[in-house]
């Protein structure tokens, strides 16, 4: 008989690993089933109340004027050599200035950074990217093309294609996840890291397994594992879910926030109402459970984490827990009246906090 605490023999260890993996995937797909049942009930309820409206889906033919506002910058495209994908981005500020690269979340696109494009172009070359599968960026058809390794490599390759070897990297929501991972995998390419409403990925995976409340709030991660049905649910009632995410009392911009205008909403509807426009964005989530947890964790550059306390999707406790993974100067600012959509909700405050962090770090470096 093996002594207590002795190492398990290889066959026993393999059995334990297999059992844990089986339990993990059973949890994933069981919760996926629960989320699908809830979505199905909502669909039946909508059909019962408004059968004529439920399946209405209007494809917007022309973009609203705000998407071509010259004050936001210039629409550009770059083709990545390794993947062959063409990426769309909007750039403001003079070429040759330090690069500030902006990564949006879900369900968003480059336009979510409109306030930052205007604000930081005086001192930076500001680039707001459409991530792989979003907007005018190419969308590979298979979900395997959206693994985290591919998304991280995209940012590295785009940086090099733009003629830079380093940048100030800013990410929100899912773009925040990618920003953390780029900072971990390619620290030499990130001078300063700024993340909005997304914790360090290791904090997220550890926290969600121990807190059922966060598991419920992250139910869409599990729901998105299903093929085609999540995309279908988004189209119902002419994208009612999409509109509600930004405007409802439960998940939308806070009471004191800078609410989206009718034209802003139309910009989102224009992008996501196009046929097939939702599959790429949702595919980002369809490989997530095979990619986490991380093998490497530490972030070694100065880091700013901004958090809207009224976030309907992420519990604020994760923000403070992130501190242990940053092995450099770390600043956390929590805005009590702000929502998940922080850089659109409180743009003036967010921009001021970013300026303070950037100038503070420049001064610290000189000293």
Q: Which of 285, 311, 325, 345 is catalytic?
A: 285
Q: Which residue has the tokens 């949006």?
A: 104
Distance CA 168, CA 190 (A): 6
Q: Is the dihedral of CA 268, 269, 270, 272 positive or negative?
A: positive
DSSP three-state, residue 308: strand
Q: How many CB atoms lie within 10 A of CB 283?
A: 22
Is 285 one of the catalytic residues? Answer: yes
Is 340 one of the catalytic residues? Answer: yes
Distance CA 10, CA 32 (A): 33
Q: How many CB atoms lie within 10 A of CB 290?
A: 11
| Contacts within 8 Å (CB) and 24+ apart, 7-13 | none
Nearest to 231 by CA among 267, 178, 291, 284: 284
Annotate 25-47 with b (16+ C-beta within 10 A) or e (fewer). eeebeebbeebbeebeeeeeebe
DSSP three-state, residue 74: strand
Q: Are 180 and 110 in contact (CB under 8 A)?
A: no
Q: Which of 130, 138, 154, 173 is catalytic?
A: 173
| Radius of gyration, CA atoms only, the chain | 21
Distance CA 40, CA 334 (A): 36
Q: Which of 221, 264, 340, 345 is catalytic?
A: 340
Distance CA 123, CA 102 (A): 15
Distance CA 118, CA 49 (A): 44
Residues 6+ apart with CB under 8 A from 357: 192, 194, 302, 304, 331
* Helices within 121-196 (DSSP H only): 148-161, 174-185
Residues with catalytic function: 173, 285, 340
């Amino acid at each position: 008989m093996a002594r207590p605490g002795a190492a398990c023999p290889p066959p026993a260890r393999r059995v334990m690993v297999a059992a844990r993996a089986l339990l993990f995937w059973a949890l994933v797909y069981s919760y996926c089933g629960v989320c699908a049942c809830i979505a199905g009930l909502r669909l039946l309820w909508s059909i019962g109340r408004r059968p004529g409206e439920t399946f209405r889906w209007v494809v917007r033919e022309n973009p609203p004027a705000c998407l071509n506002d010259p004050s936001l910058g210039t629409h550009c495209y770059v083709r990545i050599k390794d993947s062959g994908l063409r990426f769309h981005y909007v750039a403001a500020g003079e070429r040759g200035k330090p690069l500030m690269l902006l990564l949006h979340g879900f369900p968003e696109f480059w336009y979510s950074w409109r306030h930052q494009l205007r604000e930081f172009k005086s001192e930076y070359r500001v680039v707001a990217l459409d991530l792989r599968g979003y907007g005018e960026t190419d969308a590979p058809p298979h979900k395997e093309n959206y693994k985290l390794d591919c998304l991280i490599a995209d940012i590295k390759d785009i940086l090099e294609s733009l003629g830079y070897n380093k940048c100030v990297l800013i990410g929100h929501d899912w773009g925040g996840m990618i920003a953390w991972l780029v900072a971990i995998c390619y620290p030499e390419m990130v001078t300063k890291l700024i993340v909005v409403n997304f914790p360090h990925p290791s904090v997220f995976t550890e926290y969600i397994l121990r807190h059922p409340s966060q598991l419920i709030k992250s139910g869409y991660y599990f729901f998105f594992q299903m093929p085609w049905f999540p995309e279908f649910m988004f189209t119902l009632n002419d994208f009612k879910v999409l509109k509600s995410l930004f405007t409802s009392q439960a998940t939308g911009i806070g009471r004191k926030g800078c609410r989206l205008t009718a034209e802003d909403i139309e910009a989102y509807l224009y992008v996501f109402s196009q046929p097939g426009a939702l599959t790429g964005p949702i595919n980002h989530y369809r490989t997530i459970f095979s990619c986490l947890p991380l093998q490497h964790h530490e972030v070694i550059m100065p880091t700013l984490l901004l958090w809207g306390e009224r976030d309907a999707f992420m519990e604020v406790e994760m923000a403070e827990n992130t501190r242990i993974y940053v092995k450099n100067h770390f600043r956390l600012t929590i805005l009590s009246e702000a929502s998940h959509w922080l850089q659109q909700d409180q743009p003036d405050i967010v921009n001021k906090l970013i300026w303070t962090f950037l100038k503070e770090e420049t001064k610290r470096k000189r000293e």
